[in-house]
Structures are given as structure tokens and as C-alpha cells.
Amino acid sequence: MSTPPPVLELRGLTVRFGSVAALHRVGVTLDGGRITCVLGENGSGKSTLVSVLSGLTPHDEGDLLLDGVAVRFVSPRAARAAGIATVWQDLAVAPLLSVWRNLVLGAEPTRGRWPLRRLDAEAARGTTVRALERVGVTGVDPDQPVNSLRAGERQSLAIARALHFGARALVLDEPTAPMTIAQQTLVGQAVLRARAEGLAVVLVTHNPRYAHLVGDRYLLLARGQVAGDLTRADVDADDLTRLMAGGEELTALTTRLRELHPELGER
């Protein structure tokens, strides 16, 4: 049996803003059932990577492959429909609507036949409670507005939604606002669930301890290029802390890695 293609693959992917290459010939494969943490100093291209995967920014050169098929998204809706779910730092879901409305948004269950067909709110509530339980969230009233949820619960809701709709990849841009340990734990649980269900998880994080705890792989970006592609076996939490602490060390590492591996320059 031939092995399936990775869920996501970037080949020579380049994104330019005017004369600046925010990503320059980035090559990486993102397998299902793995959490890849994306690390790098400010301006290294992390947000641009998230933006390409989520359909906000089209790439200029190279290929983005989803399950082995080249894709080019024209909108976030197109990326979502193709199976790449992005959990944004701020609220991507509709804040004033209820939790259940947010979960089923765009695919609301109905009952009855046309012209009497109407929204089946009871079914949607049940679906929501089950979808949240699947990612480890209990005790949330499906009727409460989303803006009454805590930050971690909101992210978990977005992850629950992604799993419910059968996403292939989950992209998370870590909130810059600090979350309590309890809320981080909640999100961590949901992320691990997504991994267990075989999604390719891409996690932009500034928290090295968290990255080391949940990550399987670490993609280091520097000036829009891949400066390192490490696994848990290559680094410990202290290594990651140092790598993330300052750009200098990352730049030094980049230089060193390029000396040792000239092929990195070709990526």
C-alpha cells in the first residue's frame, strides 16, 4: 500500500508584499496526527504562513498542497470549505450569537419540509453539547452568547466546530493576551484531541514550555525562510526557551544551520 500524502505540504512557497518576501521558498510537510509549532522572532513570517493557510493571503510562487492536491484559496471561506480550519487570536465566531448558533453557523440543521422547513434549534443544541464534550468542554450552556465565554472556551469552541465539520488541518494563531493556566489547559486538551483525530495541527506560539509540552515538531522561521525543522528529540524546553527568547540566538542558529546544511538555502 502506498503511503498517503501529507495533509499539507508547502513547496517553494513565496509570498511578497511589494519588495519584501514575507515567506521565501518555504518547503515543509505537515502530517496528520502531528502538532507542528511555528516559532520565530517578530517579522519572521509566522502570521503570513497562517494567513496563506487560512486563505487570507494568496501565495505568489510555489505550491500549497492539501492531501497531495495543489490548492490556491481565494478566500477564508474557500480554505475552510477545503478543510483548513483557523482559530484566530481574536474572535472569529459571531460574538453576540449563542454558542450553538456559532457551532452550526452556515450548516444549521432544519426540520420539516419546504415551505415549512425551519431551524431545528433543539437538534443544534444537542449537537453543540456533544461537539464541545468531544474536545473536553463541559458545563457550557449552549444558549449563552459566545462573548460570555472565557478565551480558552472560545478557542475550544472553534476547535470543536472544526472537528464537527471534518477539517483536515487546524491552524492556531496563539492569543497574545495571556490566558489562565486553566484556560490554556482547556485549549491544550482540544488541540490534543484534534491531533488524536488525525488532523495536521499548526500552532503559532510564543510559549516555549507549552510548545514543548504539546508539540511534535518545531518549525523555525527566520526572515521568511525555514531556519530549522526540529523534532522533540532535537530540543528540550530550555532549548526552545532560548530559541524564542531573542532573535539573536535564532539568527545565530540559522547561520550555523545554513553552514552545516547548505541545502537549507535552497528551500
Positions that interact with ligand ATP (CB under 6 A): 17, 20, 22, 40, 42-48
Tell me whether the omega of the peptide bond preceding residue 208 falls within 30 degrees of 0, making it cis: no
Sequence-ordered list of residues with C-beta below 8 angstroms from that of 95, at least 6 positions apart, any chain: 145, 146, 147
Dihedral angle, C-alpha 15, 159, 28, 213, nearest 10 °: 120
Shortest CB 52 distance to ligand ATP, Å: 10
In a 13 Å sphere around the CA of 103, the CA atoms on its Cβ side amount to: 30
Using the Cα atoms of residue 47, residue 96, residue 129 and residue 112 in order, give the sign of their dihedral.
Answer: negative
Instruction: Please say which residue, 146 or 203, places its beta carbon nearer to ligand ATP.
Output: 203
Beta strands 110-111 and 61-66, pairing class: unpaired
Shortest CB 34 distance to ligand ATP, Å: 21
Instruction: Please say which residue, 22 or 124, places its beta carbon nearer to ligand ATP.
Output: 22
Instruction: Please say which residue, 39 or 124, places its beta carbon nearer to ligand ATP.
Output: 39
Instruction: Please say which residue, 40 or 83, places its beta carbon nearer to ligand ATP.
Output: 40
Shortest CB 113 distance to ligand ATP, Å: 48
Contact 164, 103 (CB under 8 A): yes
Shortest CB 60 distance to ligand ATP, Å: 12
Instruction: Please say which residue, 9 or 173, places its beta carbon nearer to ligand ATP.
Output: 173
Shortest CB 92 distance to ligand ATP, Å: 17
